[in-house]
Amino acid sequence: MKKIPEAVGPYSAFRKAGDFLYISGQIAINPENQQIEAVTVEDQARQVLENLKAILENNGLSTGNVIKTTVLLDNINDFVAVNNIYAEYFTEPYPARSAFAVDKLPKGVLVEIEAIAYFGK
């Protein structure tokens, strides 16, 4: 089982409900030491997506099972950079996605991504 980051509050990192896996917003926490080490938005996006991938794999799923994501950005100008990293993790048919710039993200990170995955085909 791959390590995943601990939740930074009173919530679950993920929950299974029926045929769906709901993954809480993931930030760039290194699951080995529970620290945020990535500085650039690209490195943070990669760590976030690795965390999502680990949660999926621990539940017998892959990024191909993801049907919806929500991307939260500290700065909308980082959209292209995050999108380029995101494209390394998902293939067609891509998940539905929303992306927003928000005022602040937990622990001062630059990107947070949540996901919904489907266990069926």
Tens of pLDDT, residues 51-62: 999 999 999 999
- What percentage of the chain carries pLDDT values higher than 70? 99
Class of domain 14-118: alpha beta
Q: Which of 3-17, 33-47, 101-115 has the lowest mean pLDDT?
A: 3-17
Angle, helices 79-86/41-58, rounded to nearest 10 degrees: 40
How high is the pLDDT of residue 97? Answer: 97
Tokens of 30: 């290194």
Per-residue pLDDT for 121 more than 70?
no
Residue 113 β-bridge partners: 26, 71
